[in-house]
Structure 1
Amino acid sequence: MKKINIICVDDEREVLDSVTRDLDYFSEIFNIEECESAIECLELLEELDLQGESVAVIISDHVMPGMSGVDLLTEVECDPRFIGTKKLLLTGLATQADTIRAINEAKLDYFLEKVWDPQELLQMVKELVTEYIIEQGIDYKQYQNKLDGPTIKRLIVE
């Protein structure tokens, strides 16, 4: 069975800790990976690809040293190895132009502003992981207790 990863990217350690704590719900069956920069995330993506693992969701801050979250998510969108990976921008500093670019170039799946509601983040990631699993043709039944039921019903025609 292929390992499924959720990657969280933020240059502020306390924010990264909060996001991963909010996503602890998934930790029994998915890997929750932390990266403190976009460059670190790109290196992790290379490693996961070499190991044959998949990346369901990337949650990224926007304003980070070296490479922005929008640039990171755009690069992921353009990489054929990560077709279908869901992208969530979690930021408080993106301008309208940044957000438009994220939607148009990175094909952003969701946008949340800091400070976020932990339940909204969890629900959105549940929906995105569910979409990823169904769209990739992965047997969702083994993950069903952690997935979003309405999203399964919407995507599965039985």
Structure 2
Amino acid sequence: MEKINIICVDDEREVLDSVVRDLEYFSDLFNIEECESAIECLDLLEEFDANQEYVALLISDHVMPEKSGVELLTEVELDKRFLGIKKLLLTGLATQADTIRAINDAKLDNFLEKVWDPQELVQTVKELLTEYIVERGIDYQEYIEKLDAPTLYRLLT
């Protein structure tokens, strides 16, 4: 089974803990990593790239010191080593201009507002993981219990 990572980025520890707690559903099949800054996330991405590990999903807050979530997601989008990583912006403070920039420049895959519904977050992550696994040609059978059946059907037919 391939090691597939999900990275969650938020500078507020309580929020990060909450996201990770909501994603516990995936932890038996996916590695969930926590970063408290965009810089820490970029370092982790470098490490995963060096170890040739998959990163399926990057969930990021927007308002953070040093580098915003939109800047982080855009940088990841522009780095050819990270093609295909699904990107989810999870924030309550992004302006309309920030959101448009995230969609256009970072090729954002999804956006959820804080405070989010945990079930909606899990469903969104299921759909994004399903898309990533199918697009990468990874054997989805090993992950089927955590994937989204309608998305899988749509992508395979």
**Into which bin does the TM-score normalised by the smaller protein fall?**
over 0.9
- Tell me what 1:137 maps to: 137
TM-score by length of 2: 0.99
Matches within 5 A, 1:1-158: 1-157=1-157
Question: Are the counterparts in 2 of residues 2 and 52 from structure 1 also a CA contact under 8 Å?
Answer: no
Task: Say how many residue pairs are matched.
Answer: 157
**Structure 1 outlier segments of 4+, above 3 Å:** none
Please tell me the residue identity of whatever aligns with 2:65: P
Determine what percentage of the aligned residue pairs are the same residue. 77
d(CA) in 2 for partners of 1:127, 1:62: 22
CA RMSD, 1 decimal: 0.6
Q: 1:3: Cα distance to partner?
A: 1.0
Q: 1:82: Cα distance to partner?
A: 1.1
Q: 1:2: Cα distance to partner?
A: 2.9
d(CA) in 1 for partners of 2:38, 2:107: 17
Please tell me the residue identity of whatever aligns with 1:97: A
> Tell me, which stretches of 5 or more residues in structure 1 are unaligned?
none
Please tell me the residue identity of whatever aligns with 2:36: E
> Tell me, which stretches of 5 or more residues in structure 2 are unaligned?
none
